């Protein structure tokens, strides 16, 4: 069965960077896009960007351009999302979600990684 297992919770200081991992299993990693979505406490879902694990091509929401980088290591079926210049407003749960169908809509989701930004 499809599984996405994310790395553990992180606490970072303002201005630092965080890198969240998402290890995929149960399917061919390079065959489906990976989306990243975040959710601040008590708030809604916010799409951050996507990556094609086969080509490495990426696309980022305008809000995060210049601060987010999505990469992958195909040898270990793992995707990464790095967010830099962290501020308190970046405190949120970050999810990876495998794309589905031809369009890549978020289908299977990881369990989420809480990133807390605090001085």
Partner 1 sequence: QSALTQPASVSGSPGQSITISCTGTSSDVGSYNLVSWYQQHPGKAPKLMIYEVSKRPSGVSNRFSGSKSGNTASLTISGLQAEDEADYYCCSYAGSSTLWVFGGGTKLTVL
Interaction site with partner 1 (CB under 8 A):
35, 37, 44-47, 50, 59, 61-62, 95, 97, 100-101, 103-112
Helix (H) or strand (E) holding 37: strand 34-39
Both tokens of residue 113? 């990684």
- Comparing CB distances to partner 1, the nearer of 6 and 77 is 6
- Comparing CB distances to partner 1, the nearer of 32 and 50 is 50
- The least distance separating partner 1 from the CB of residue 119, rounded to whole angstroms, comes to 26
Residue with tokens 């790095």: 82
DSSP assignment, residue 43?
Answer: S
For residues 53 and 65, what is the distance between their CA atoms, to the nearest angstrom? 19
- Comparing CB distances to partner 1, the nearer of 8 and 13 is 8
């Amino acid at each position: 069965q499809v599984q996405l297992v994310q790395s553990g919770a992180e606490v970072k200081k303002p201005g630092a960077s965080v890198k969240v991992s998402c290890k995929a299993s149960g399917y061919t990693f390079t065959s489906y896009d990976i989306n990243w979505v975040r959710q601040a406490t008590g708030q809604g879902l916010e799409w951050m960007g996507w990556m094609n694990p086969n080509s490495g091509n990426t696309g980022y929401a305008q809000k995060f351009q210049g601060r987010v980088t999505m990469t992958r290591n195909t040898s270990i079926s793992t995707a990464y999302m790095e967010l830099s210049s962290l501020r308190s407003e970046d405190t949120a749960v970050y999810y990876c979600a495998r794309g589905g169908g031809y369009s890549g809509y978020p289908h299977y989701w990881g369990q989420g990684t809480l990133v807390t930004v605090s001085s």
